[in-house]
Chains A and B, each alone.
Chain A
């Protein structure tokens, strides 16, 4: 209780009053708010120091001035007057405004007008109080912005983030989690319990126990399921937040989709497995080639000892045929295990694809539709074109076989993709700026996941025993890998399969094409234009000039022309217009001495013994002929 001072006389009382006024004036003047008292004529009757200070004026110049004088008549009429009038009608008015003061420039203020009355029942004045809320407002704004930033950060985080109550009920989930869970909106997810996303709910209970005892937990890979029930492998970690008394308040979960990681791991494992099988099989093939060389050598000797056209000689021929078959298998294994060197030239992939496509098209069953998008493009790769042909042919043939019974569509596409794309898709060392991406897609029977994982393994086949060796895909895997490319497969049972082949684009300059002076002319006698065109693509890029002949008349014409006369003849045994007897006859009648290479189908019995014994064949090669083989043979003969 404040003790009331005693008032002895009037003078003392006046002195007391003046002291009290002095104190209250000081309080008012030291306030951080601008305080003024305004009468009904809008005239300032009282003004505190803070006000004067802010306006940088002395007290006397303000007192007696109207609000219009101080703030400008327009501002007063438009912004201030209505608030003042409201206050004079008896209401306290509070609003925010930003205005200029000479001391601090334009800042934000909170203004309060309170009605005052000096006469009973009448509002005579108003008390105006103006606080500077500029900094406060800025801080508030900064907090809001920060919050917004955090929210954005959290929602853009590639990792799923969840806040749950201690029972696991989802309070909040970020965008990443919604997309992992394939859930439409946050509304529906916030009613759910994280437990329901677990494949095994017991596991969730165990993890909640673990969190209760140790508040931060990394659970590693957990198998979750999304809203539509599809399994998604995720990496999950949790953090349990507790209050001061140790009671759990909420649990934060981080959920990371690791299906891509798993897929890449699997792919690496596959590659390692194939590498191991490859070196194993390669070693065996090497030993087998030794054995085959022995068998082949003895049977050749035996053949020499036996009278020609005898029954025994026929039997020995059969042994030699079997050796050739076995050799073709060992060769395929060696190609798969990349023990066979490929002779590579710069070759336009789309050209090879186009030729292969044409080749396949000529013998396609009627119930299969071929679709293709093979634009002209300048994408060159370093490859043996004959091997590339083999890859494309094999993939298309497989696709067609998969649709043999039901029919369907085979789509073949080619495009050039950038390294970033490849890096993301393959996650491997990228050796070129661009890759050619080829796609072979069928609508056939498709494959089970267990089959997909093994299709590149040698001798793995889903066909009946005796139908195919199961080496086709292993061989093309070897070829593509040797080119530093990659082959991938995706398939769904009864929906079809898609094979993707990535080949690095080579920017190397083809020097050989420029050496026109070394050009040698080669004459091709062939029945199959596509297959021989592949060889010709290869040989042209190796610097040879090629002439194609498919009928007798042109052959004789070319051989008689001095300017067109070739340095070498390649005769493919599938040539229908010129059969082996014709060839021998023409050679003899025209007295042709040009060296000739014979290319035969390895499965075809060499019925043309006359051709072989005629002496016009310098070298014989079996299909499939690699660029290396044919170049060695040509170089040998043209030396």
Chain B
């Protein structure tokens, strides 16, 4: 089963995401912030990353850029609850930098899972 890495500093939200993905049978890894995500990243296990954008330590934008470098074929979904600094153009930026999909919090977990399936499905066909 494909591996998914969740990068999210909010513990409850991270656990919710983890549970919903586990229920669908995915292998799930977690990281609390961008720094951890990058240093613990295992290219052979992880096929898709769901990352928050605004976090302490390295923020999500760096995660998007760095993980793309480490594994160009990786699928990335960025989620954000609105920028804390300035007009939040984070989501747009993330998309421009290579996120495959973006979501604003709160999002529908069903939509997210449909998107994940779709992205990983395309992966298998190509």
Q: Which residues of A contact B (CB under 8 A)?
A: 279, 282-283, 285-298, 300-301, 323, 327, 330, 334, 338-341, 482
Quick check: B82 and A282 within 8 Å, CB to CB?
yes
Contact with A along B8-52 (1 / 0, CB 8 A): 001011001101100100000000000000000000000000000
User: Does B98 lie at the interface of the complex (its beta carbon under 8 Å from any beta carbon of A)?
Assistant: no
**Chain B interface (Cβ within 8 Å of chain A)?**
10, 12-13, 16-17, 19-20, 23, 54, 79, 81-84, 86-89, 91-92, 104-110
User: Smallest CB-CB separation from B89: which chain A residue?
Assistant: A341
Measured between alpha carbons, how far is A339 from B83 in the docked complex, in Å? 6
A283-B84, A290-B10, A301-B23 known; A341+B106 contact, CB < 8 A = no
**Cα-based distance from A323 to B16 in the complex (angstroms):** 16
Contact assessment for B87 and A293 in the assembled complex, using a CB-CB cutoff below 8 Å: no
Offer 30 A-B interface pairs, CB within 8 angstroms, sorted by A.
A279-B84, A285-B82, A286-B54, A289-B82, A289-B106, A290-B10, A290-B105, A291-B12, A291-B13, A292-B105, A293-B13, A293-B81, A293-B105, A293-B106, A294-B16, A296-B106, A296-B107, A297-B16, A297-B106, A300-B20, A300-B108, A300-B110, A301-B19, A301-B20, A327-B106, A330-B82, A339-B82, A339-B83, A339-B87, A482-B87
**Contact assessment for B13 and A296 in the assembled complex, using a CB-CB cutoff below 8 Å:** no
Determine if B108 and A340 form an interchain contact, defined as CB atoms under 8 angstroms apart.
Answer: no
Whether A282 contacts B13 in the complex (CB less than 8 A), given A292-B106, A297-B109, A300-B109, comes out as no
Give Cα A340–Cα B13 distance, bound, in whole angstroms: 21
Contact residues in B for A340 (Cβ distance below 8 Å): 82, 87-88
Chain A residue, CB-CB nearest to B13:
A294
A634 to chain B, nearest CB (A): 15
- Verify B84–A289 contact, CB threshold 8 A: no
- Interface residues of A, dominant DSSP: helix
In contact, B105 and A289 (Cβ under 8 angstroms):
yes
Asked if A286 and B10 sit within 8 Å, CB to CB, the answer is: no
If A289-B105, A290-B13, A301-B109 are given as contacts, then 7 extra A-B residue pairs at C-beta distance below 8 Å, sorted by A number, are A286-B81, A290-B105, A291-B13, A292-B105, A296-B108, A301-B20, A340-B82
Contact of B84 among A288, A297, A339, A341 (CB under 8 A): A339
Complex formed: what's the CA distance from A146 to B6 in Å? Answer: 84
A-side contacts of B83, CB under 8 Å: 286, 339
Contacts of B13 in A (CB 8 A): 290-291, 293-294, 297
What are the residues of chain A within 8 A of B91 when measuring CB–CB? 341
A contact residues around B81 at 8 Å (CB): 285-290, 293
Closest 10 A-B residue pairs measured CB to CB?
Answer: A289-B81, A292-B106, A289-B105, A293-B106, A297-B16, A297-B109, A290-B10, A293-B105, A334-B82, A339-B82
Given the contacts A294-B12, A300-B109, A301-B19, A286 and B84 also touching, CB distance less than 8 Å: yes
How distant is the Cα of A312 from the Cα of B30 in the complex, in angstroms?
32
Q: How far does the Cβ of B109 sit from chain A's closest Cβ, in whole Å?
A: 4
Q: How far is the CA of A575 from the CA of B82 in the complex (A)?
A: 32
Residues from chain A with a CB closer than 8 A to the CB of B105 are 289-290, 292-293
How far does the alpha carbon of A287 sit from the alpha carbon of B10 in the complex, in Å?
Answer: 9
Which chain A residue shows the least CB distance to B54? Answer: A286
- Cβ contacts under 8 Å, A279 to chain B: 84
Task: List the B side residues contacting A289 at CB < 8 Å.
Answer: 81-82, 104-106
Tell me which residues across on chain B come within 8 A of A292, comparing CB atoms: 105-106
Nearest CB in chain B: distance from A382 CB, A: 14
B residues within 8 A CB of A285?
A: 81-82
Shortest distance in angstroms between A633's beta carbon and chain B's nearest beta carbon?
11
Known interface pairs A290-B81, A301-B109; A339-B88 also in contact (CB < 8 Å): yes
**B17 A297 Cβ-Cβ under 8 A:** yes
**Bound-complex Cα distance A340 to B23 (A):** 33
Task: Give the CA-CA distance A470 to B67 in the complex, in Å.
Answer: 43
Q: How far is the CA of A296 from the CA of B107 in the complex (A)?
A: 8
For residue B12, give the distance in angstroms from its CB to the closest CB of chain A: 5
- A298 to B92 Cα, complex, angstroms: 27
A286 to B82, alpha carbons, bound, how many Å? 6
Q: What separation, in Å, do the CA atoms of A298 and B13 have in the docked complex?
A: 9
Residue of B nearest to A300 (CB): B109
| Inter-chain contacts of A283 with B (CB < 8 A) | 84
Cβ of B80 to closest chain A Cβ, rounded Å = 9
B25 to chain A, nearest CB (A): 14
**Cα-based distance from A339 to B80 in the complex (angstroms):** 11
Q: Are B87 and A341 neighbours in the complex by a CB distance under 8 Å?
A: yes
Which chain A positions have C-beta within 8 A of B107?
293, 296
In the bound complex, CA of A219 to CA of B113 (Å): 71
State in angstroms the CA–CA spacing of A215 and B19 once bound together.
82
| From A286, A288, A294, A295, residue with most partner B Cβ within 10 Å | A294
In the assembled complex, the Cα of A288 lies from the Cα of B12 at a distance in Å of: 12
Distance of A334 Cα from B86 Cα, bound (Å): 11
> Closest residue to A333 on the B side, CB-wise?
B82
Chain B residues contacting A296 (CB-CB under 8 Å) are: 106-109
B92 to chain A, nearest CB (A): 6
Question: Which residue in chain B gives the minimum CB-CB distance to A636?
Answer: B101
Tell me, in angstroms, the Cα distance from A301 to B107 when the chains sit together: 13
A294 touches B10 (CB 8 A): yes
- Smallest CB gap from A290: residue in B: B10
A341 contacts which chain B residues (CB < 8 A)?
87-89, 91-92
Task: Give the distance in Å from the alpha carbon of A291 to the alpha carbon of B54 in the complex.
Answer: 15
Task: Enumerate chain B residues within 8 angstroms of A294, measured Cβ to Cβ.
Answer: 10, 12-13, 16
- Chain A residues within 8 Å of B82, by CB: 282, 285-286, 289, 330, 334, 339-340
In the complex, what distance in Å separates the CA atom of A330 from the CA atom of B20? 24
List B contacts of A301 (CB < 8 A).
Answer: 16, 19-20, 23, 109
Q: Which residues on A sit within 8 Å (CB–CB) of B12?
A: 290-291, 294
Kindly state the separation between the CA atoms of A327 and B103 in the bound complex, as whole angstroms: 14
Task: Determine how close the nearest CB of chain A comes to the CB of B94; give it in whole angstroms.
Answer: 12
Q: Which residue of A lies closest to B15 (CB)?
A: A294
Distance in angstroms between the alpha carbons of A482 and B87 in the assembled complex:
8
Our pick among A323, A338, A482 for the contact of B106 (Cβ within 8 Å) is A323
- A177 → chain B closest CB, angstroms: 48
